[in-house]
Amino acid sequence: MPAILIIDDDAHIREVVCFALRAAGFEVHEAEDGKVGLEVFDSLRPDLVVLDILMPEQDGLAVCRRIRALARTPVIFLTSVDDVLDRVVGLELGADDYVTKPFSPRELVARVRSVLRRVAEAPKQDEPRRFLEHGALRLDLEAYTVSCAGRVEPLSATERGILAALMGHPSKVWTRGELMDRAYLDGSVVSERTIDSHVKRLRKKLFAVGCDAIDTVHGVGYRLRTKGQW
């Protein structure tokens, strides 16, 4: 039974979300603000976090940043329908999905299941090895990390899927739609802007390990640079 942590300062939203997730068979825990949420996260280490953005003590973006420094636990943001910038920033921080308020509890449950499946499932026919390598760049498919020259960065499930596609076929130019299919194994459809946000976040992590490995092919999508170019 996966454990889900709900962090939201609105007691009514917590009640609705907790009821829906428990009815769906999940173990559910809750916290009323970001500070308490991080304390619960540290002690519980849940399988997934549902996280509001606008909260006292620490907002959701700060909480997500802290979670990403500790673990690769999937994060789903709850955002206002007007908070486009917050959604983009959240994706750049490594969030796996977002749900806009007001939302249907059924939709949220579906999103939680979708993200958990995405983390658990791996296309075995395309990933026969534990690692994918391209020059000094190494992707650990099981630990969800990327490394180069001894430096290591954690990846979200979506970032792992995108990088696995690029490294698995390094000469291929991938369209955003193709990367969407590889990163969202359950068939979820997201906007091209969402894929661009994930790639931007992935690039930052590659820069952090000393590797500028992703090229933009204007009008098409992305590809991996040849080994001698970075």
70/111 same-domain check: yes
Confidence at 95, pLDDT banded by 50, 70, 90: confident
The CATH number of whichever domain residue 70 belongs to comes to 3.40.50.2300
150/202 same-domain check: yes
User: Looking at 120, 142, 177, which one is the last position of a domain?
Assistant: 120
99/7 same-domain check: yes
User: Looking at 120, 148, 177, which one is the last position of a domain?
Assistant: 120
Domain range enclosing 56: 3-120
Residue type, 103: F
171/214 same-domain check: yes
Residue 81: per-residue pLDDT: 56
Residue 188: per-residue pLDDT: 62
Residue 109 clears pLDDT 80, i.e. is over it:
yes
Q: What is the DSSP string of 80-136?
A: ETT-HHHHHHHHHTT--EEEEES--HHHHHHHHHHHHHHHH---GGG--SSEEEETT
Residue type, 163: L
Please state, rounded to an integer, the average pLDDT across all residues of the chain.
85
Indicate the length of the chain as a whole number: 230
Return d(Cα 9, Cα 51) in angstroms, integer. 10
94/80 same-domain check: yes
Residue 32: per-residue pLDDT: 93
27/107 same-domain check: yes
Rg value, the chain, Cα: 18
Question: Tens digits of per-residue pLDDT, 174-211?
Answer: 999 888 877 775 556 677 788 899 999 999 999 999 98
87/100 same-domain check: yes
Least confident of 37-51, 93-107, 113-127: 113-127
Rounded to an integer, the average pLDDT of 32-48 is 91
Residue 84: per-residue pLDDT: 62
Return d(Cα 160, Cα 9) in angstroms, integer. 31
Q: How many domains does the chain have?
A: 2
79/114 same-domain check: yes
Return d(Cα 196, Cα 205) in angstroms, integer. 14
Find the Cα–Cα–Cα–Cα dihedral 83, 63, 105, 123, rounded to 10°: 100
What proportions of the chain, in percent to the nearest 5, are helix, strand and coil? 45, 25, 35
- The percent of residues above 70 in pLDDT, for the chain, comes to 87
User: Looking at 70, 98, 120, which one is the last position of a domain?
Assistant: 120
Burial class (CB in 10 A: 0-12, 13-18, 19+), 37: buried
Return d(Cα 72, Cα 120) in angstroms, integer. 13
Cα atoms in the 13 Å half-sphere on the side-chain side of 10:
13
137/209 same-domain check: yes
131/211 same-domain check: yes
15/107 same-domain check: yes
153/107 same-domain check: no
The CATH number of whichever domain residue 163 belongs to comes to 1.10.10.10
Global pTM value: 0.57
Burial class (CB in 10 A: 0-12, 13-18, 19+), 212: exposed
